[in-house]
Amino acid sequence: MTDDRDLPATPRRTFLAGAAGVAALGTAATAGASDHHERKRETPKTTDDGDLTGHDLTMDDGYRLRVWERTASDDPEEAVIFVHGMTYGAVPMFDPPVAPDFGWLPFAAGRGQATFAPDMRGYGDSERPPEYDEPPEANTSGLSFEREARDILALTRWLRAERNFDRIHYVGLSGGTWRGRAVYTLGDPDYATVTLAGGSFETLPVGAEPDGPFYLPHTREEFDAALTGEIPEGEAVDDWLGGDEFTAREVLDGVWQPIVTSNQRLAEPDTIANPLVLQQATYHPKHIDDPTLVIRASGDETISREGALNLYDGVGAIEDRKRYVELAGGTHFVFLERRRQAFFEEVYGFQQRY
């Protein structure tokens, strides 16, 4: 069994804003990172929930966006867009190779949904920013929620026009909730449902400083600290993360592997780029008028209950078309913990109501 002493304590920083800790992290050079960015991660094993396959979509400015799909049904009636948060991309958050059926995409695909998870700009196996080959402070942030929202709207149009899905759900995880708000501010995606998981409103500043660095280096030690730092004192880390099936180290190694072998990898060993994003407007949740679930784990120390309830209150859907759920026994990373199945079930159940 692993106890809290075997894994590092979490640094007090937010993984949504990504702006803290610049001075401490310094300006480690990344020359030579181009040797790594062509190396592709190993694809998780094929399962009964369909293959994990990648699509490369070209955006209106020529950028290549990687979109991951896992679909098991021969004729799925609905699609789900899963949008990750800050720091880590789609595969580690939604389909990590811990075990074939470990993640959220296998769960949803196993219930007949076609699942699609984009690596947002600067993440995963989407086109690697050339800025990653330079020190962080050599460039200021060039990413924004508005640009990301336009990419998600383009993906939505592709699912309707090329894949013939009329019924599409949106799931925004952590920073993906801010991206969802921008999507509805800039467009009318007409999603069947919207899930805002681990998000808040008015209580947590999000977004990089305009004159700040393009990215922050993020080490394996910081990753371990992030995924374990909110586990309550006295709880066994193995039990909290892995439950009866896995050790904490198996979960952490499985989630880290597709990050460090993706285009986020830097030249320094066991270090990735955490891209910083600008928030150019408020993107008020009042624009979200489709059925909406706001869900938070009770032990989430990144997102407060007040912030999550503010988000729920701010959503523009009428009262009988929105729902607030708080799941006991999880942290900000509940979707990778022993309570993940209950978390997935809550979201799937809401989606099937509409």
What pLDDT was estimated at residue 209? 84
What pLDDT was estimated at residue 121? 98
- Which residue positions in the chain have pLDDT lower than 70? 1-48
pTM across the whole model: 0.88
What pLDDT was estimated at residue 292? 98
What pLDDT was estimated at residue 44? 37
What pLDDT was estimated at residue 6? 53
Q: List, for residues 22-51, the tens digit of each pLDDT value.
A: 222 222 222 233 333 333 333 333 345 789
Q: List, for residues 120-149, the tens digit of each pLDDT value.
A: 999 999 999 999 999 999 999 889 999 999
- What top-level class would CATH report for the domain 4-351? alpha beta
What pLDDT was estimated at residue 205? 82
Closest Cα partner for 333 from 304, 290, 300?
300
What pLDDT was estimated at residue 48? 59
Q: What residue segments make up the domains of the chain, in order of their start?
A: 4-351
